[in-house]
Chain A
Amino acid sequence: MTRYSALALLRAGLTGQRHWPRAWRDPSPRPNYEVIVIGGGGHGLATAYYLAKVHGIRNVAVLERGWIGGGNTGRNTTIVRSNYRLPALHNLFDFALGLWEGMSDELNYNVMFSPRGALFLGHSDADMTALAQRGDALRCDGIDAELMTANQLRELVPLLDMSPAARFPIHGGLMQPRGGTARHDAVAWGYARAADRLGVDIIQNCEVTGFTVAGGRVTGVETTRGAIGAGRVGICVAGNSGPVAALAGIRLPIEAQTLQAFVTEPVKPMIDTVIMSQSLHCYISQSDKGGIVLGGDPDQFPSYAQRGLPPRIAQAAAEAIALVPALSRLRMVRCWAGTTDMSFDGSPIISALPVDGLYLNGGWCYGGFKATPGSGYTYAHLLATGAAHPLAAPFALDRFATGATIDETGVGFMPQFH
């Protein structure tokens, strides 16, 4: 495998960039693996990479029913930040953010991580109080958070509608300078290539259709490419968590729901931070290609359709235009949707399941892209050692029974409102 570098690029230029070898192998499934990871999204691929890299477990397969990164990894709005209010969440997400900062070097793959700053807007005194509290909670744990005045925002994002008559008046904001965006596909491809180099088999077009269990312990999986044995099996299938867990007779505190995203035609640079309004649930960033990427509310009812409601398109556009009126001049060119695994407290589940040797990493709702490296790292720890990584320990499945839920929005078991 070629190491990617400026020199390699130059050298390949001599032959018209036409002779690059494939980035990862296309192996057939072997009869047995030490660990099988189900789901070739960013989380599953990162898990396999850290199993091999950190724990020396290389007899690993990632089974993906479609193509890697074709799920939510390739559908999300790529916002990366760690500024959650609850300590269990911000400690896990900030660990991930640290890994993002070194990811391109570590994987020898340009994931285009761009820490351009992630800004929450405040639209009222109440919003500003909540943002100040959140900022304090973050700084107590050494995480960057800067409360900003309206005047500072006027300079930072000149296109924001700061007039007193604005539909959603802007009183100030909370900035996480280390936050930003990354290239979603590159994250899947980078982890795949690096895991493959360490010996992991990445097997696409291979859907898991059942588990084999003997004496209460998982011994392997049934797939569309035959039965494969395994010492341990890690589920990592995002929106499909419910149906895959059901194959083992397990019901989860997760409901599948639709989230859409939107992009405009590409234009010259006009917004160089990530702008988010949590009161509106509207987020805006500009991709490196120039398109304005918009996200909004989920559809708020269970669905696996991977297509969203038309009223959400109008809502996302209206909110974005109210915040940044210049956007009214742009054409929206595409919209798409992904199936999110909405958990019942809005937080992920990284946990052993009631069948020995079977584990779950899911319930990331619509916020798991930013966690990709940290999710993979801590899940690999669980799969390798059988014990929870300290950062992931609060996210065990039994928290729902014990009442130790991690509910950032405080709406309880109504997943559509997290």
Chain B
Amino acid sequence: MMRIDCPHCGPRAQSEFGYERTLDSIVTLDMPADEAMARLYARANPRGLDDELWRHGLGCRQWIVLRRHRVTHEIVGVAAFDPAILS
């Protein structure tokens, strides 16, 4: 199991968090249809590092961004979610 260091709450058990989706899958309102489709349905799905959106559902309820290795589960970076990504 992973321990996730929430930028708002500090280190907590992974069971408090839920994975949402990869960071590169966010679709903005004005995005062209082709790009929106690619973001919704095409994933790198690497055997390695990727950036992921998680939600601290049983804590501060904020979205956070994890850079996480998908074989070792090592978390190499945690950041608060920047709402600027949505615009």
Contact = CB atoms under 8 A, between A and B. Distances in A.
Q: Point out which of A240, A301, A310, A344 has the most chain B C-beta atoms below 10 A from its C-beta.
A: A301
Contacts of A246: 44-46
A282 interface: no
B18 interface: yes
Contacts of B42: 251-253
A344 B37 CA distance: 12
Interface residues of B, number: 25
Nearest to A405: B41
A304 B70 contact: yes
Given A242-B46, A311-B15, A303 B40 contact: no
Interface in A224-263: 240-243, 246, 251-256
B81 interface: no
B44 A251 contact: yes
B72 interface: yes
User: Which of B45, B50, B52, B54 has the largest count of A CB atoms less than 10 A from its CB?
Assistant: B45
A23 interface: no
Contact of A400 (B15, B19, B20, B37): B37
A304 B1 contact: no
Contact of B47 (A243, A255, A310, A344): A243
In the A-B complex, the 9 residue pairs with the smallest Cβ-Cβ separation, listed nearest first, are A242-B45, A301-B19, A251-B42, A253-B41, A400-B41, A304-B71, A243-B47, A304-B47, A413-B40
Given A242-B44, A256-B45, A303-B73, 6 more contacts: A246-B45, A251-B43, A252-B43, A253-B43, A255-B43, A413-B40
Interface of B: 1, 14-15, 18-22, 37-38, 40-47, 50, 52, 54, 70-73
18 contacts: A242-B46, A243-B46, A243-B47, A252-B43, A253-B42, A253-B43, A256-B47, A256-B70, A301-B54, A302-B45, A302-B52, A305-B70, A309-B14, A344-B41, A400-B40, A413-B40, A414-B20, A414-B21
